[in-house]
């Protein structure tokens, strides 16, 4: 995945170098590459073309990186640490960080629309799927706005579910569905992958909320305790730590169950579901 990202990203000395340095800095800051892996493994489950899955998967990491750069900006979460390193705006200044996010998002769609990523029909479906998942209607931007505007930890459960599923879940589900759409998955396969994606998307964000309470800065690579400080609506704030752990574990089990139909072939995706709730970073 990293080799593919290396091929996609313009080199440091490409003019104008400041933006390309900033793009590369955040992409190669040590992310887990979870969304690309989800895309790749969902596609592999239905014999998708490895090259196309790698390329589209890498594009997902560009989108993900854009979202982190913008999330950390002073106007949003105002964080100076991410993946254990100073955030983009700290290193390159706010204007360049904003533009690096914009450029990564744009490059992602240029990459997906490029030749060799499935049939034209598949490519258009993937672009539509992803663009919707990171947009305002139950997508990443919508979730981020709801998150930003919710400053009361006692906020209702329905709103919390909306924030988590829109801000984090929608993109993960789309990562999985994109892999499936680029392969020979049928309607039933897509439905199973979607259920799995819904479950792990929520489980992932609950685990993220928990890490903000129970993790250390060295493990997580970002500032800890910020949710409470900013009165964010989170699972631990609303349900408590123990109940949140139980709900996350239950969701991971349900995610595994959704793929039971595939037997051993689904082992990697099932392993990822369990990893997501046990992760310390
Ligand atoms: C950590 O992923 C990321 C999340 C928990 C997602 C949070 C959602 C946003 C930041 C949305 C922001 C949206 C906009 C529009 C600015 P990870 O643990 O996989 O990170 P890694 O790649 O560093 O491993
Ligand atoms: Mg945030």
Please state the atom number of ligand 1 nearest to the C-alpha of residue 29.
23
197 and 210 Cβ atoms separated by less than 8 Å: no
Count of C-beta atoms within a 10 Å radius of residue 155: 19
Please state the atom number of ligand 1 nearest to the C-alpha of residue 141.
15
Tokens of 115: 């030749």
Computed over every residue of the chain, the mean pLDDT equals 94
CATH code at 189? 1.10.600.10
Q: Ligand 1 within 6 A of 37 CB? A: no
The rounded Cα 246 to chain-centroid distance in angstroms is 22
Domain count, the chain: 1
* Predicted confidence band of residue 204 (pLDDT cuts 50, 70, 90): very high
- Contacts with 13 (C-beta within 8 Å, 6 or more apart), sequence order: 20
pLDDT at residue 225 in the model: 86
Q: Residue 178's closest CA among 274, 41, 270, 66?
A: 41
* Predicted confidence band of residue 280 (pLDDT cuts 50, 70, 90): confident
Q: How far is CA 215 from CA 21, 232, 281, in A?
A: 30, 17, 8
Q: Ligand 1 within 6 A of 72 CB? A: no
Q: How far is CA 146 from CA 5, 30, 120, 149, 259, in A?
A: 31, 28, 35, 5, 31
Please state the atom number of ligand 1 nearest to the C-alpha of residue 65.
22
- Contacts with 71 (C-beta within 8 Å, 6 or more apart), sequence order: 77, 79, 144
State pLDDT tens for residues 53-92.
999 999 999 999 999 999 999 999 999 999 999 999 999 9
Domain that holds residue 173: 2-278
Sole residue written with tokens 């990564």: 104
């Amino acid at each position: 995945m990293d080799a593919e990202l290396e091929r996609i990203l313009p080199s440091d000395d490409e003019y104008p170098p400041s933006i390309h340095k900033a793009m590369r800095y955040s992409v190669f800051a040590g992310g887990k590459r979870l969304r690309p892996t989800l895309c790749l493994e969902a596609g592999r489950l239905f014999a998708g073309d490895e090259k196309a899955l790698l390329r589209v998967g890498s594009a997902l990491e560009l989108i993900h990186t854009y979202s982190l750069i913008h999330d950390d900006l002073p106007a949003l979460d105002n964080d100076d640490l991410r993946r254990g390193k100073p955030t983009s705006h700290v290193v390159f200044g706010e204007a360049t960080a904003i533009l690096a996010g914009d450029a990564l998002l744009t490059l992602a769609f240029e990459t997906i629309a490029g030749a060799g990523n499935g049939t034209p029909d598949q490519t258009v479906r993937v672009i539509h799927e992803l663009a919707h998942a990171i947009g305002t209607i139950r997508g990443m931007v919508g979730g981020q706005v709801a998150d930003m505007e919710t400053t009361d930890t006692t906020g209702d459960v329905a709103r919390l579910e909306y924030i988590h599923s829109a801000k984090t879940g929608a993109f993960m589900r789309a990562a999985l569905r994109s892999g499936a759409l680029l392969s020979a998955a049928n309607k039933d396969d897509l439905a199973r992958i979607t259920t799995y994606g819904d479950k792990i998307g929520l489980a992932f964000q609950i685990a993220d909320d928990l890490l903000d309470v129970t993790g250390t800065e060295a493990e997580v690579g970002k500032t800890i305790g910020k949710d409470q400080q900013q009165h964010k609506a989170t699972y631990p704030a609303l349900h408590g730590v123990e109940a949140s752990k139980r709900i996350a574990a239950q969701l991971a089990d349900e995610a595994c169950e959704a793929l039971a139909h595939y037997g051993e072939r689904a082992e990697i995706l099932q392993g990822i579901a369990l990893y997501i709730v046990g992760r310390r970073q």
